[in-house]
Amino acid sequence: MSTILAIDQGTTSSRAILFDTALNVIDSAQEEFPQHFPHSGWVEHDPADIWDTTLRSCRAMARKAGAGGIAAIGITNQRETTLLWDRATGKPLHRAIVWQDRRTAETCARLREAGHEAMVRARTGLLLDPYFSATKLAWLLDNIEGARTRAEAGELAFGTVDSYLIWQLTEGGVHATDATNAARTMLCDITTGAWDSEICALLNIPMSLLPEIRDCAADYGTTTLLGGEIPILGVAGDQQAATMGQACFRPGMVKSTYGTGCFALVNTGERMVHSENRLLSTIAYRLNGRTTYALEGSIFIAGAVVQWLRDGLGLIEDAAQTQAMAQKADPEQMVYLVPAFTGLGAPYWDPNARGAIFGLTRGTGPNEMARAALESVGYQTRDLMEAMAADMARAGGSGAGEVLRVDGGMTASDWTMQFLADILGAEVDRPRVLETTALGAAWLAGMQAGLCPGPEGFAETWALDRRFKPQMAAKDRDARYAGWKDAVRRTLTT
């Protein structure tokens, strides 16, 4: 039986998911790996941990598939995370600098003060923020002894996680990325789909470092590390892969993924919509050389706030406990948790904001903290949805937000999804297949291999698990959201 292997390399774990050609999950393997926090606001991964956990997970699925059982590989990955390695040996020069890392906030501020943001935003669709890869790469070149000289000599390679995995899987044979990951580096002009020489010069980044940009469904070489020769045929950043996995192929369709962070994308079609509400313009996917664009809102802390309850405060032993705790919380207490542990993303973009809790009383306990943590995800999503609706209306495009398709680990909590529908005042659709990120990667690879249908045929297979409808009165919804906005206002530094 032919199968498709999806590699889903995330912020806290690496997974390999085996799909059949009808895109049903057969089996999966997953390994977590350590996070490193060398300084306040810094977040790093050991590249060896990324690769080793990925390879072991893939080999477990290769054994499951049997000899010759895997027809194609699709890769999806944490975006913006930045790696720099030796072209000859493949050895990284430093730990990977993770998308959450804020060490280049001052660099971004200087560039903004020098008047460069308008140009960067017009070409890349992105704001000048340490979230993106460009200033992380510049930091590596500036702070690793000899790195810039070696880069200029063509000895080094830069990549986001997808490029690093492709390089490792092909044993140095392919240095490439896809259009969606390139769009998140702040080095790519998304109107042309090519690396931007002026931005590279601004940051003193040699263009020889950069990988080739390819379509999401394309030939990325073959690997022999899993037995036989297996082609790598699909690549997309995790949020764009989830957009495709949710079959959001029509303009105006919105999906929101709840993993470590939360990322909402609305399909804007074949034109790039510029946001007036500090959302990001980005590439949703590029197929057969044709680019489809999106507006994106990024929340840095979603599922990670539950991890903090577990690992930072010791209030829970397992994430699943939070739903029962939230249900037991005192409904009269209005506790707001603003989880700005690594700054605030859209629509605020304040890298210096830090987490805060408001509304504490002597009666506040673990249950109220758990509820506030889960509610923070709903409030932040409403921030994004309101900004998206305003931008889409201004652009004269299809409306956004009547129905939200959701996926990711947090969507398993009925309580959280009901609160999301309540605070949005909109219907929330949870699909039957929650592994939409991996599903998107598998579909890309399967389509390129000729095993799966194109976008229209794939969209017909999307199936609803449950629709959550708003039940909260409008006056209560608005009052609670007003309290959230006040809490955020007190947290902002800009």
Q: pLDDT digits over 427-444, tens only?
A: 999 998 888 999 999 999
Q: pLDDT digits over 33-48, tens only?
A: 999 999 988 999 999 9
| DSSP type of residue 199 | H
More confidently predicted of 403 and 359: 359
What is the pLDDT at residue 353? Answer: 87
Output the furthest CA–CA distance in the chain (Å, rounded).
Answer: 64
Q: What is the mean pLDDT of residues 101-127?
A: 93
What is the pLDDT at residue 236? Answer: 97
What is the pLDDT at residue 402? Answer: 62
Indicate the residue type of 378.
Answer: G
Mean pLDDT of the chain: 92
The separation between CA 68 and the C-alpha centre of its own chain, rounded to angstroms, equals 32
Q: What is the mean pLDDT of residues 171-190?
A: 97
Indicate the SS3 state at residue 88. Answer: coil
Contact 209, 155 (CB under 8 A): no
Calculate ∠ Cα 245-9-429, nearest 5°. 30
What is the pLDDT at residue 275? Answer: 86
Phi, psi (5° rounding) for residue 281?
-90, 135
Which residues, including other chains, have CB under 8 Å from residue 322's CB and lie 6 or more apart?
306, 309, 316, 370, 373, 374, 413
Q: What is the mean pLDDT of residues 53-58?
A: 96
Least Cα distance to 22 among 2, 38, 49, 7 occurs for: 2
> Highest-confidence range of 183-197, 247-261, 333-347, by mean pLDDT?
183-197
The C-alpha atoms of residue 244 and residue 238 are separated, in whole angstroms, by: 10
Indicate the SS3 state at residue 333. Answer: coil
The C-alpha atoms of residue 59 and residue 230 are separated, in whole angstroms, by: 12
Indicate the SS3 state at residue 110. Answer: helix
All domains of the chain in start order, with CATH: 3-237 (3.30.420.40), 246-431+463-494 (3.30.420.40)
Q: pLDDT digits over 383-412, tens only?
A: 998 888 888 877 665 555 567 899 888 888
Q: What is the mean pLDDT of residues 46-72?
A: 93
Phi, psi (5° rounding) for residue 163?
-65, -40
Which pair of tokens denotes residue 60?
């477990």
The C-alpha atoms of residue 448 and residue 445 are separated, in whole angstroms, by: 5
| DSSP type of residue 309 | I
Contact 38, 44 (CB under 8 A): yes
Which residues, including other chains, have CB under 8 Å from residue 414's CB and lie 6 or more apart?
323, 466, 468
What is the pLDDT at residue 258? Answer: 87
Q: What is the mean pLDDT of residues 334-346?
A: 87
More confidently predicted of 403 and 176: 176
Which pair of tokens denotes residue 411?
């969507």
Cα torsion for 367, 372, 378, 381, to the nearest 10°?
-150
Strands 13-20 and 25-32: antiparallel
Angle formed by the axes of helices 366-394 and 321-328, nearest 10°: 100
Least Cα distance to 344 among 130, 106, 36 occurs for: 130
